[in-house]
Amino acid sequence: MRSSLGLYRFEVRTPDLEAAEAALLELPPRIEQIHFSTGIPAKQIVDVQTFGDRLDVLVKDVKAGEVEIREILTSRQMELTSIQEVETTLENIFFGYYCGSS
């Protein structure tokens, strides 16, 4: 069931979670068409949620999604403490089916 979601999840840690969440949800216009580093159509970021000391970021493509996360935060001079791909959760599965991602 988890593999049918078609999304990947990153745990992102940064000192300013609120600002990072806003930046990741507010996708710069230049990324809307083709992601310049990968050539993969963007927008990769599907959802961003704060969970305690981290952000959970759902993306469409694991490689392009990580690049997009890094580029957005770097372009805003935001410190990225860590980024790690992790297995999707039941909450992510619910989100995916609720929003029609499957």
The pLDDT tens digits for 48-89 are 989 899 999 999 999 999 999 999 999 999 999 999 999 887
The confidence score (pLDDT) of residue 36 equals 56
- Whether 84 and 11 have beta carbons less than 8 Å apart is answered as yes
| Dihedral (Cα; 67, 72, 47, 87), 10-degree rounding | 40
Q: Whole-prediction pTM value?
A: 0.76
Is residue 1 over pLDDT 50? no
Is residue 101 over pLDDT 60? no
Question: CA-CA distance, 17 to 21, in Å (whole number)?
Answer: 6
What is the CB neighbour count within 10 angstroms for residue 44? 25
